[in-house]
Amino acid sequence: MIKRGLLIFASILVLVGCETENKTVKEASKEEFPFFIPAEKPDRPLSAAVTRNYDAYDKIRPEQNELYTQFKYTKLKGFDYNGGDGTITRRDPSKVIFEKGKYYVWYTGRKSPVRPVGMASAKEATDVIPSADWDLSDIWYATSKDGFTWKEEGIAVPRPPKPQAGWRSVTTTDILKFKGKYYLYYQAFMEASGLRGDFCPVSVAYADSPDGPWTHSNKIVIPNGPEGSWDQFSIHDPYPLVHEGKIYLYYKGDFDKRKEFKPSKIRMQGLAIAENPLGPFVKHPLNPVINSGHETTLFPFKEGVAAIVQRDGMEHNTIQYAKDWVNFEIASITELMPVAGGPFVPDAFTDTKNGRGITWGISHFINADGNWNHTILTRFDCDLSQDIDDQKMKGHHYNYGPEFHYTHKLSGDQKKRIIKETNKLKGNETN
């Protein structure tokens, strides 16, 4: 009896609730949402999406959102790739710095007698035959007067001798300038990538000049995590910035590799902080701090840090922001993002309290000739800066023509599934 009573009472509550909600909605429907979107959040019932438009973003429209941009690309001059035969690759560029009247960029450089055999065939790799595109590589560098035409200066950091960290390959570097000295952090491979996975820690070399000579620290400064931890195998894409007088080094962990999800789409970013460029680095207890991204690009913005989060993960194709440099929120959604972007960040190392943002950098195109032979460097431009307002960078979308769409075709299995579904319907008709 009591149960029945409670049930009736609960139903009345629900009805009243709906009625109240309906009244609210009814009241709201008297005033349609206005044609000119209110600049401030209106005092009226709003849907979750429109509430988000006011609460989750810095501005309510893309044109005014300083962390929304499109990206424009320009082919670089000064780099030769042997006609794309796979014997030369340049990829994973560092941030760009400006010193001695010119721009500097460092990157993974591979010049091998043959093209890579591929990670799946890593067992066939030798000390001259690369497994992956970034196997058997050194850290090269180039300079430029204008950011468009570059002069390759040569190898900055070569692979060190066995058994030092990086003897197999030194790759995916990034630059730090700290107290007048220069530091290049890099992935330090001690096995051909693909043998077990893409496994490596991070080491660092240092110099008194951006032109070197560079000295290997012969230290693993960002070690792999303990067994069973998210970054136990791969510490990728080291990316140092200076904040609160310390080195904030963001990095990627490739983890959660499972047979049933191959290739894994999960990539997340961690943070490690140190007072000294040679460590010790302390990994943040909230790691991973970004739940998506691959070769993630970061830059100080206002009092926080912004991140170009592209390629992988639930929140790929977003630009994110962390006021506290740890807890990232989505600031905008965009497309055609620079992959492995190394931006020119004038205040990357100034410990700024009001990061100005970025307008250009160097990124890369993998699979540059369609058969995974090699990667090429390119320039990207954007408006993620407090100091410009380039509305030509704030368009809503790119127009991908029919031919581009038709390059993304159904597979044979997908066609078979579709035919099966249609036949099932036909079967239903005859039944």
At its nearest, how many Å lie between ligand AAL and the CB of residue 95? 15
Q: Contact between 231 and ligand AAL (CB under 6 A)?
A: no
First to last CA, the chain: 49
For the beta carbon of residue 173, count every other beta carbon within 10 angstroms: 31
Q: How far is the CB of 174 from ligand AAL (least distance, A)?
A: 11
Q: Work out whether 172 is an interface residue with ligand AAL (CB under 6 A).
A: yes
Nearer to ligand AAL, 138 or 198 (CB): 198
Query: Count H helices, E strands: the chain?
Result: 4, 21
Sign of the Cα pseudo-torsion (351, 357, 360, 363, in order) = positive
What does the block give as tokens for 299?
Answer: 């830059």
* 237 is a contact residue toward ligand AAL (CB under 6 A): yes
Q: Across the strands, what pairs with 304?
A: 301
Asked if 271 and 281 count as a contact pair (C-beta separation under 8 A), the reply is no
Lookup result for tokens 């990667």: 375
- Residue closer to ligand AAL (CB basis): 68 or 141: 141
Tell me how far, at minimum, the Cβ of 289 lies from ligand AAL, in Å.
17
Instruction: Tell me the closest approach of the beta carbon of residue 136 to ligand AAL, in angstroms.
Output: 13
Beta bridge partner(s), residue 182:
177, 207
For residue 157, what are the β-bridge partners? 139
Choosing from 66, 138, 174, 198, the residue that interacts with ligand AAL (CB under 6 A) is: 198
The minimum distance between CB 172 and ligand AAL, in angstroms, equals: 4
Q: Tokens 């100080």 correspond to what residue?
A: 300
Min separation Cβ 91 and ligand AAL, Å: 7
Q: Who contacts 216 (Cβ-Cβ below 8 Å, separation ≥6)?
A: 157, 160, 164, 166, 203, 205
Sign (positive or negative) of CA dihedral 226, 231, 237, 242: negative
Told to check if 347 binds ligand AAL by CB under 6 A, we report no
Q: Applying CB under 6 A, which of residues 57, 71, 107, 134 lies at the interface with ligand AAL? A: 134
Closest to ligand AAL by CB, 159 vs 356, is 159
- 156 three-class SS: strand
131 binds ligand AAL (CB under 6 A): no
DSSP, residue by residue, 111-122:
E-SS----GGGG
Taking CB under 6 A as the rule, does residue 92 contact ligand AAL? yes
Choice between 59 and 257, CB closer to ligand AAL: 257
Both tokens of 373, joined, read 């032979």
Nearer to ligand AAL, 97 or 339 (CB): 339
- Stretch 283-322 residues interacting with ligand AAL (CB under 6 A): 294-295
Q: Which is nearer to ligand AAL, 121 or 276 (CB)?
A: 121
Residue 236 found at the interface with ligand AAL (CB under 6 A): yes
Using the minimum distance from each CB to ligand AAL, give the nearer residue, 236 or 283: 236
Residue 143 found at the interface with ligand AAL (CB under 6 A): no
Q: 47 phi and psi, to 5 degrees?
A: -70, 165
The tokens of 226 are what?
């303990």
Residues 248-277 that bind ligand AAL (CB under 6 A): 252
Cα separation, 47 vs 33, whole angstroms: 11
Closest distance to ligand AAL from the beta carbon of 295 (Å) = 5
Distance in Å, CB of 336 to ligand AAL, minimum: 18
> Is 90 a residue that touches ligand AAL (CB under 6 A)?
no
Interaction of residue 107 with ligand AAL, rule CB under 6 A? no
Give the residue with the Cβ less far from ligand AAL, 67 or 188.
188
**From CA 255, how far away is CA 284, in angstroms rounded?**
17
DSSP string, 110-162: EE-SS----GGGGGG--SSS-SSTTTT-EEEEEEESSSSBEEEEEEEEPPPPT
Closer Cβ to ligand AAL, 60 or 155, answer by number: 155
Tokens of 392: 């030509």
8 A C-beta contact, residue 234 and residue 252: yes
- 282 neighbors 225 (Cβ within 8 angstroms): no
Name which of 336 and 366 has its Cβ closer to ligand AAL: 366
The verdict on 174 binding ligand AAL (CB under 6 A) reads no
Judged by CB under 6 A, the residue of 144, 171, 287, 318 near ligand AAL is 171
Of the pair 187, 332, the CB lying nearest ligand AAL is at: 187
Q: Which residues lie closer than 8 Å to 11 by C-beta, 6 or more apart?
A: none
In the complex, the residues that contact ligand AAL under the rule CB under 6 A are 92, 134, 171-172, 187, 198, 236-237, 252, 294-295
